[in-house]
A and B are shown apart, each in its own frame.
Chain A
Amino acid sequence: MTDPPLVVARGLTKRFGDFVAVDGIDFEVERGEAFGLLGPNGAGKSSTMRMIATVSPPSAGTLQVLGHDPATDGPTIRAQLGVVPQQDNLDLELTVRDNLWVYGRYFDMPRATLRGRIDELLEFAQLGERANHMVEPLSGGMKRRLTIARALINEPVLLLLDEPTTGLDPQARHVLWDRLYRLRRAGTTLVITTHYMEEAEQLCDRLVVMDKGRVVAMGTPQALITEHSTREVLELRFGDDAEQAVAVGKIVDLADRLEELPDRVLLYTDDADRALGTVHDRGVRPDSALSRRSSLEDVFLRLTGRTLVDE
């Protein structure tokens, strides 16, 4: 027997007036996995997350979290949940340590237990030296780590991370990813929303691709790429639209699939270098050419006709 899933959604729907934010989605989150909700802004990821977090009642469909119904057992579920919201909501008027303290007290943790737990978490979040500093002047990366540490205070079974690294610089992002790896290895189940395909590839065992409130694909990052894209991609940039249009006419047969974006042309092929050789042989001279492996970005483009990150 395998463990029952920690989250089960069937036909899950969220409406705000006439607007349908989440449009009848199905998914399951298994114990111990890192599960991703990938999609652009407005895809319905955060609304889904808030329903799982039991702070937004579903409009239709069924949802089970940790074996309970969020509508009736919110407090029981939340007692075993860690929540990292999209926007940090730390108490800026308190110190780093006091932020952990008051949050732990909301969980009714005994003071003695809480003291030890806070020291562990300060170390985990690499904030030990800042323990007695106010939160306000901390860097974005530090605040984010503190928010994650706070979400771990109750040793949650399931940790929900809504856009955990949005707005962080690359270095802070990597520090944070490293912390999340550790959690995953220690057996914490993660649900992560992101619109960074790199983050999804780095962190998620399995993910759903969302667009306009619907699930458009589900699987491991590698399986999604294999299924919906070619092995490699050749990216070509041209001086202007007219030049691009002429070039596309000459090379359209070189790839399994060709995507024209406003600023570049993508050729989907299993051998990008060979395709580039042929491009040159035909007298086409792009301003720049890049051959790379396919990513989830390409999967998303294929499935929705749009790019993930607004550029």
Chain B
Amino acid sequence: MNAGALRVVEVEARAYRRTWRGSVFSSLLAPLLYLLAMGVGLGTLVDRGPQTDALAGLDYVAFLAPALLTASSMQTAASEATWPVMAGIKWRGTYAAALSTPVRVGELVAGLAMWNTVRVLMTAMAFGIVGVLLGAIDAGRLPALVGVALLVGAATSAPLLAYTASVKDAPGLSHLYRYGIVPAFLFSGTFFPVDQLPDWASVVAAVVPLWHGVELARYAALGLPPAWHPVAHGGVLLGWAAAGAALATGRFRRRMTP
């Protein structure tokens, strides 16, 4: 099982070698821009505003940074589990090539999930380094924060691998972004606490993996008590990852070996 999955990771890594410079550069630039614009720019206004206890007495940038690291990790997991996967399934047919070798469907899916984890790790580390350098993240708490990011990555990539294998073509992925990823990014408590929204919003948020990730991220990076017990948040994320993993191989099998 694992041998084939590792081969898939190796091949993905070899393809990545061509674009890694641009990719690493943008992984460093994105957090820099976000933290400067939102954290420092917008944060200055927020911090001067009327004091509420919504931010638990923190500077806005400190409140924002760990959550944004997690949200960026979700975005990386999502983008890596959608467009390039559809390319492999349909536009370029490279997965069909892989499956004409001894590699099994389950190994292909496991390998893609593992590579996705590597990419999420790179995003989280790049964000973490920028955050530490800007003084927005405590270096000592970074490993735990990255661990949360990896968990959110798994809870995102596994279901989305199943989703991508289930939709016909690009429109299915565009809808996912429009109605799924972008709203999750904006309304999962990253930029403001969910309790600032109407009550029903927090019910919706409880389903979204990122909200659990954001709660855990502030707990890991700042010691803020999360909405639920940390184990419960972690359990929901693991549940998403496990359900997605259980679905993904079947979805790939149906799509690739009809």
Please list the residues of chain A having a beta carbon within 8 angstroms of any beta carbon in chain B.
16, 53, 55-57, 74-76, 78-79, 81, 83, 85, 87-94, 98, 101-103, 105-108, 150, 154
Contact = CB atoms under 8 A, between A and B. Distances in A.
Contacts of A106: 4, 7-8, 11, 98, 101-103
Given A53-B100, A108-B7, A94 B14 contact: yes
Contacts of B104: 74-75
Interface of B: 3-4, 7-8, 10-11, 14-15, 18, 92-94, 96-104, 256-258
13 contacts: A55-B99, A55-B100, A55-B256, A56-B258, A75-B103, A85-B100, A88-B93, A90-B94, A90-B97, A91-B92, A94-B15, A106-B4, A107-B102
Contacts of B4: 75, 106
A63 B97 CA distance: 22
A16 B104 CA distance: 22
Nearest to A16: B258
Contact of A92 (B92, B103, B258): B92
Given A16-B258, A103-B101, A89 B14 contact: no
Given A55-B99, A89-B93, A91-B97, 10 more contacts: A53-B100, A85-B93, A87-B93, A91-B94, A103-B97, A105-B10, A105-B11, A106-B4, A106-B103, A108-B7
Interface of A is mostly: loop
B94 A83 contact: no
A155 B18 CA distance: 29
A85 B96 contact: yes
Given A91-B92, A94-B14, A108 B3 contact: yes
Contact of A81 (B10, B18, B94, B100): B100
Contacts of B98: 106
B257 A102 contact: no
Nearest to A75: B102
B180 to A, nearest CB: 27
A55 B257 contact: yes
